[in-house]
Amino acid sequence: MPTSPNENGSPRVLAVARKLPVLSMLFRRLDPRQEEILSLLRRTSLFADLSESELIELLHLLHERTFVQGETIFSEGEPGLGLYVIFKGAVEIGKLDQGGRGRLAQLRSGDVFGEVSFLDGSGRSATATASVRTELIGFYRTELMDLLERKPVLASKILFSMARQMGTRMRAMLQMIQP
């Protein structure tokens, strides 16, 4: 009997059992909205390495937030807890300088922001504002702490992936400032 994991990370026996009408009731099911968020997470580079079951586990820890056009998601200098994935809409990242607010980036669906404060708990390094009506998926440090206690392997994978992404951004930044 094949029991090795399939590409989604769950054993084949379970995958077969999920398809049987009576047995399928015993297994976890997701509603269409959750399926939609799951598909977004699969496309997000930060969570791309996670298996299907790990993504479902992560799904239960995420919070959906909606911001109207022009609403500040977080302001520069404020202590931050969460990182956000843009589900629908767009977000403008800006930074205050001597001449007023400078625009750093315009982010679209699937982009991730806020991971610096998420990791170190220090003040936000920039201000994020919703350019249009925006739906965000928030992942907060409190949930990561909870995950570290309950499922350290999954939490480590997320942290490792985050560290890799930060490294990539750092390299890109260094290339930008080098003459």
Partner 1 sequence: MNQPGPVIFQGRRFNKWVKLGVPALGLGLFWFLNHEVPLLFTSLVISCGFYYMLNPVVDFLETRHLNRAVASIMVLIGITCVMYLIWLRFVAFGMDLRDRVDLDAFQKNMVNKVEGVMIWAQAKAPMLKRWIEPEIQVKEKPAAIKKTGKPSPVVEDVQSESIRRRVFLEEKLSGFLKKLVVEQGPELARTLAGLVPNLILIPYFTFFFLKDGRKFKKTIIAWIPNQYFEPALKFFYEIGRRMRSYLQSMLLDCTLVGLLVGVGSAMVGAPYPVVFGLIAFALNSIPLLGPLAYGVTCLAITIGAGKPSDVILGFIGVFFVSRICDDLIFVPTIYGKSHHMHPVLVICAVLLGESVAGIWGMFLAIPIISILFLGVGIIREISQGEEPVPLPSSASPPFA
Name the site residues for partner 1 (rule: CB under 8 A): 10-11, 14, 25-29, 53, 57, 60, 63-65, 67-75, 78-82, 120-123, 127, 129, 138, 140, 142-143, 145-146, 150-151, 167, 170-171, 174
Q: What are phi and psi of 130, to 5 degrees?
A: -75, 120
Closer Cβ to partner 1, 53 or 109, answer by number: 53
| CB of 98 or CB of 174, closer to partner 1 | 174
Q: Provide the minimum distance between the beta carbon of 45 and partner 1 in the complex, in angstroms, as a whole number.
A: 19
| Closest to 127 in 3D by CA, of 77, 69, 63 | 77
Q: How far, in Å, are 40, 114, 127 from residue 68 at the CA level?
A: 21, 18, 16
CB of 162 to partner 1, least distance (A): 15
- Quick one: tokens of 143? 């949930």
Can you tell me the distance from the alpha carbon of 16 to that of 37, in angstroms, rounded to the nearest whole number? 24
The residue among 81 and 159 lying less far from partner 1, judged by its C-beta, is 81
Cross-sheet strand order for the sheet of 127-130: 72-74, 127-130, 91-97, 100-107
| Smallest gap from residue 21 Cβ to partner 1 (A) | 14
Least Å from the CB of residue 164 to partner 1:
13
Amino acid occupying residue 54: E
**Cβ-based nearer residue to partner 1, 1 or 174:** 174
